[in-house]
């Protein structure tokens, strides 16, 4: 026996349930401190790397306060600093979710990515120069708005892609 609120509507000529309060939905608490929903402006720094050394800096660190690993949605917006790396053009105003690569392949890898576990949500800037010649990220020339939502649903532990 179900309990709660259910809403039905005519969909394609048939009566269909369109909402059930006994089902899970992605909800966000807007009042919790520290914020589970926020927009953070960040300017990554000019990290230097060589010989495949992974150099990272934490840009956002939120102790989410949930008793489980939450489902997180993250968007990266290029707020200023248009740039062209190879064929991957990133104009101001473009945005993507989860992970932001702006160089990859054989050359240096410059990435914004996020992690989440049962205590923290983090956004991390990662720079790796695979060759023996040191190089420096030009990330300090760009400003990002990072929008994140730490939801009520349980989600996967997230680490650097394929790590």
Residues that bind other proteins (CB under 8 A): 2-5, 7, 9, 18-32, 37, 39, 66-68, 73, 75, 77, 79, 84, 86-91, 93-99, 101, 104, 113, 145, 147, 149, 151-157, 161-163
Residue 68: exposed, middle, or buried by beta-carbon count in 10 A (0-12, 13-18, 19+)?
Answer: exposed
| Choice between 51 and 94, CB closer to other proteins | 94
CA distance 114 to 40: 13
**Nearer Cβ to other proteins (20/81):** 20
Following CA atoms 22, 26, 27, 30 in sequence, which dihedral angle do they give, to the nearest 10 degrees? 180
CB closer to other proteins, 50 vs 81: 81
CB of 121 to other proteins, least distance (A): 15
CB of 117 to other proteins, least distance (A): 9
CB nearer to other proteins: pick between 47 and 149:
149
- C-alpha to C-alpha distance for 64 and 121, rounded to whole angstroms: 7
- Tell me the closest approach of the beta carbon of residue 127 to other proteins, in angstroms: 17
Q: How far is the CB of 59 from other proteins (least distance, A)?
A: 17
Measured distance CA(51)–CA(3) in Å, rounded: 60
Could you tell me if 72 and 66 are in contact, meaning their C-beta atoms sit under 8 angstroms apart?
no
């Amino acid at each position: 026996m179900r309990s709660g609120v259910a809403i039905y509507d005519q969909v394609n000529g048939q009566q269909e349930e369109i909402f059930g309060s006994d089902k899970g939905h992605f909800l966000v608490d807007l009042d919790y401190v520290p914020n589970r929903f926020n927009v953070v402006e960040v300017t990554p720094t000019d990290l230097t790397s060589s010989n495949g050394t992974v150099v990272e800096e934490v840009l956002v660190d939120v102790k989410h306060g949930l008793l489980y690993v939450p489902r997180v949605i993250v968007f990266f917006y290029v707020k200023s600093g248009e740039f062209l790396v190879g064929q991957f053009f990133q104009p101001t105003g473009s945005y993507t979710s989860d992970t932001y690569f702006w160089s990859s392949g054989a050359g240096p890898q410059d990435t914004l990515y996020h992690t989440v576990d049962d205590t923290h949500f983090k956004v991390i800037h990662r720079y790796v120069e695979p060759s023996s010649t040191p190089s420096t990220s030009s990330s300090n020339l760009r400003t990002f708005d990072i929008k994140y939502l730490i939801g009520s649903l349980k989600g996967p532990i997230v680490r650097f892609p394929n790590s």
